[in-house]
Amino acid sequence: MEAASSTTSAPVVDLKPKPNSTTDQKETAVQLDFDALKAKYDKIKSAYNALKKEESAALRKYRQESEIRAYAAELIKLQHYLETHAKRMIVVVEGRDAAGKGSVIRRLTRFMNQKHCRVVALGKPTEEQRTQWFFQKYISQFPRGGEVVVFDRSWYNRAMVEPVFNFCTEEEHQNFMRGVVGFEKDLVRQGTILIKLYLSVSKEEQAKRFEVRHNDPLEQWKLSEVDLQAQEMWEQFSEVKYEMLKRTHTSETPWTIVRSDHKHLARLNAIRVILNTVPYENRDTNLNYVPDKKVIRSGALELERLTQQRIKKGHFVN
């Protein structure tokens, strides 16, 4: 009898790690904890950066306002000089929409004695004023001895805004351009201190400021129909600005150009310009009264710059 051969198979060993539900759950929990912690960290970091940025902006604003206050103290001394010597001062502040005219005027007049300082911003002429000599409504607002009057826009509306938007006839515009220089020279000859500031904003910065006004409910009141067309009519405004400077900038009644893309520097240097027009006493010798050449330029230099732009490019850039 043939013996039966017994072949016993070797047991198969599975070397692959068996899933361990407990371990997987722990790893998942750890991953979830890590993701949650990272999300919290990112949130805290974002809040910290926002706070740091806000604090930095607040500190910068505080420093800027402190710097302005030092010069504001000098403006009070200037005002005292005008009162003591019965001098009259007119400050004309012109420029495109959103150039920063209002903020310059506020920094200029904030600490002045309001009994001897006025800001004049005339609206549309009345029917009666339309029948009067053009300068008449402005003359009625001129300062007495010892007083400062700041015009937030002035008779130069007829040189810029009115011709661009056809608010006056070409004859009225040309009559103004022919007569304004003599009018201003008479003022200066009779003892009035006349300061003409033109705030020059770039097209890009103007667009940014319009966007802020459009989106901020507290600023929307500043937007007008004229503002909304300012960007489209940039070139037309550049043309009348050039013509105005060419015909009304004189040695006796000069224009001073204030580049106003940087608001604080525009305010500070505008004040410096005004302080340098009067030989008042007891100046603070620790302050710098020299206008920054990057911000302030004479009307003559601005004319030269615009003329070169027109020659090289065939149009005005800014």
* Helices 101-109 & 263-275 angle (0-180, nearest 10): 50
CB 63 within 8 A of CB 70: no
pLDDT at position 55 is: 64
Could you tell me the end-to-end alpha-carbon distance of the chain, in angstroms, rounded to an integer?
118
Q: What angle do CA 267, 257, 172 make, to 5 degrees?
A: 120
User: What CATH number should be reported for the domain whose range is 46-313?
Assistant: 3.40.50.300
pLDDT at position 313 is: 81
At 225-259, the pLDDT tens digits run 777 788 999 999 999 999 999 999 999 999 999 99
pLDDT at position 40 is: 81
DSSP reduced 3-state for 67: helix
CB 147 within 8 A of CB 116: yes
Q: In what order do the strands lie in the sheet with 192-200?
A: 117-120, 148-152, 88-95, 192-200, 255-259, 296-298
Residues counted in the chain: 318
pLDDT at position 5 is: 46
Residues 213 and 223: their CA atoms lie apart, in Å, by: 7
DSSP 216-274: -TTTGGG--HHHHHHTTTHHHHHHHHHHHHHHH--SSS-EEEEE-SSHHHHHHHHHHHH
Residues 146 and 143: their CA atoms lie apart, in Å, by: 8
Alpha carbon distances (Å) from 168 to 156, 161, 204, 209: 12, 9, 29, 28
Query: For residue 85, which amino acid is it?
Result: H
Backbone angles phi, psi at 95, to 5 degrees: 150, 170
pLDDT at position 20 is: 59
Residues of the chain with pLDDT under 70: 1-32, 52-55, 318
- CB-based burial, 208-234: b 16+ in 10 Å, e otherwise: ebbeebeeeeeeeebeeeebeebeeeb
Backbone angles phi, psi at 53, to 5 degrees: -65, -45
pLDDT at position 117 is: 97
Query: What are the structural domain ranges in the chain?
Result: 46-313
pLDDT at position 25 is: 64
The pTM assigned to this predicted structure is 0.81
Residues 139 and 158: their CA atoms lie apart, in Å, by: 15
At 173-185, the pLDDT tens digits run 999 999 999 999 9
In 3D, which of 89, 99, 98 has the Cα closest to residue 120? 89
